[in-house]
Amino acid sequence: MRGTTAVEAEGLRKSYGSVEVLRGIDLSVPRGGVFALLGPNGAGKTTTVRILATLAQADAGRAVVAGADVRRERSLVRRRISLTGQYASVDEMLTGAENLRLTARLAGHPRRAARRRADELLERFALGGAAGRRVATYSGGMRRRLDIAACLVGTPEVVFLDEPSTGLDPRSRQTLWDVVRELASGGVTVLLTTQYLEEADQLAGRLAVVDGGRVVAEGGPAELKARVGGRRLHLALRDADAYTRLVSALGPRAVHRDPEHRTVELATDGGAAHVRALLDEVDPTRGEVTRFEVRGATLDDVFLTLTGTPPTAPAHAAGSHREEPVRG
C-alpha cells in the first residue's frame, strides 16, 4: 500500500491578493480513520481542503494525498479522493436520482451499476421519497444530504467533507456519523472540517485546530483536552456585581466567562483540597458563589483556549476582540 499517511502537508501557504489566508499549514493524517479540522470562521479550513483536493493551488508548500502529489499528480489524486465542499455542488434542475447517477457514471460506474449505487445512497440518506424530484424543490438539509451522498458514489481512498453536518437535523447528523464511521472502519481516510466540537469528539481519532492560517494544535481529542488542563471548577455567582468583581480579580485565570449566566471557570486538578482552597480564595465571605461544579475539559475549552481569548459577551468584549468562535 501507499505508506501509513493519507495526507501529508508541509508549509502550505496561500494568499488572496494581499490577504494571507494560509501561513504555513502542516498536517499529517494517518491512513484510515477520521481526522477533523477545527477552527473559527475564516481560519482557512476550506482553503486547506480545496488545496488538498487539488481544486486550488498553494502558493508555497507541498502536499501528498493518497500517495500522489497535489501539484504534479493532480489527476491521480483526483481519482483517489472524493470531496463534498462547503457549498452545494449539485444540479438544481436535475432530480436527486439524476444527480447521483450522473456522478456515479463520472466516477467510473457503468450505467446499471451507477443506477444501483444511486438508489442505495438515496435510501441511505432518506431521500428515496424525493429521488424523482428536482433538487430545486429540496430543503437545505436534503440538499446537503444529497451533496454528501454524491461524494460517496465511488470508492475513494480519502474523503474530504467540508462542514458536512451544517444544516442537518439530529437524525441526519446521526446517519452522517454512522456513514463516516463505516467508511473509516472500511479503511477509508475521512478528513472533515466542522464547527461542532462534539462531532470532532465523537468521530475523530485525531484533530487539528487551525487559526489564522496556521495549525495551532494537533493531536487526539484526549491529548488536546489534557493540554488545556485537566478539569474546570465551574462557579455561578450571586449577582452581576459579584461577577464583575471576581472576573477582574482573576484576570486571565478565568478560563471561561459567561456574564449572561454569571458563571466563571477556573482550572483545577479536581482534588477536594484544591477545590476548597479555590472556593475560599474567590469567595472569602461565603456569600457570592451560589453553586459550583467540577467538570472535565471539553473540546470547547481546547478550541476557545487555543483560538483566542475566552469569549465574553459583546458588552464586555475588548475592542480588539475578533469574531466569536461558533460553538457547537
Partner 1 sequence: MAEFAPARGAGHALTMVDRSLRLSARNVDAVLVSLVLPVMLMLVFVYFFGGAIDTGASHGDYVTYVAPGVLILCAGYGASMTAVSVTRDMAEGVIDRFRSLDVGGTAVLTGHVVASTVRNLAATAAVLAVALAIGFRPTADPARWLAALGVLLAYVVALAWLAAVVGLLAHSAEAAGGFTFFILFLPYPSSAFVPIDTMPGWLHGFAEHQPVTPVIESMRALLLDRPVGDALWPALAWSAGLTALALPLCALAFRRRTA
Ligand X SMILES: Nc1ncnc2c1ncn2[C@@H]1O[C@H](COP(=O)(O)OP(=O)(O)OP(=O)(O)O)[C@@H](O)[C@H]1O
Chain positions contacting partner 1, by CB under 8 A: 53-55, 57, 75, 78-79, 81-83, 85, 87-91, 93-94, 98, 102-103, 105-108, 134, 150, 154
Provide the strand spans (E) within the chain: 5-16, 19-30, 33-38, 60-65, 68-69, 81-84, 158-162, 189-194, 206-211, 214-219, 231-237, 254-258, 263-268, 289-296
> Interface with ligand X includes 86 (CB under 6 A)?
yes
Mention every residue, 6+ apart, whose C-beta is less than 8 A from residue 104.
113, 114, 115, 117, 118, 153, 154
Q: Which of 192, 147, 144, 135 is nearest to 168 (CA)?
A: 144
* Stretch in the footprint of Mg ion (CB under 5 A) among 4-12, 80-88, 243-251, 254-262: 80-88
User: Considering beta carbons, is residue 46 or 103 the nearer one to Mg ion?
Assistant: 46
Shortest CB 133 distance to partner 1, Å:
12
User: Considering beta carbons, is residue 136 or 277 the nearer one to partner 1?
Assistant: 136
> Interface with ligand X includes 84 (CB under 6 A)?
no
Shortest CB 94 distance to partner 1, Å:
6
Hey, how many other C-beta atoms are within 10 angstroms of the C-beta on 33? 20
Cell numbers 502558493 correspond to what residue? Answer: 59
Shortest CB 139 distance to ligand X, Å:
21
How remote is the C-alpha of 298 from its chain's centroid?
14
Rounded to 10 degrees, the C-alpha dihedral 21/23/28/33 comes to -20
CA 253/CA 309 separation, integer angstroms: 11
Total residues at interface with ligand X (CB under 6 A): 12
Q: Which of 86, 89, 166, 175 binds Mg ion (CB under 5 A)?
A: 86
Shortest CB 89 distance to partner 1, Å:
3
> Interface with ligand X includes 42 (CB under 6 A)?
yes
> Interface with Mg ion includes 46 (CB under 5 A)?
yes
User: Considering beta carbons, is residue 154 or 213 the nearer one to Mg ion?
Assistant: 213
Q: Which of 180, 141, 164 is nearest to 84 (CA)?
A: 164
The contact pattern for Mg ion, residues 188-227, with x = CB under 5 A and - = no contact, is: ----------------------------------------
Identity of residue 53: A
> Interface with ligand X includes 164 (CB under 6 A)?
no
Hey, how many other C-beta atoms are within 10 angstroms of the C-beta on 198? 15
User: Considering beta carbons, is residue 8 or 98 the nearer one to partner 1?
Assistant: 98
Q: Which residues bind ligand X (CB under 6 A)?
A: 16, 19, 21, 39, 41-47, 86
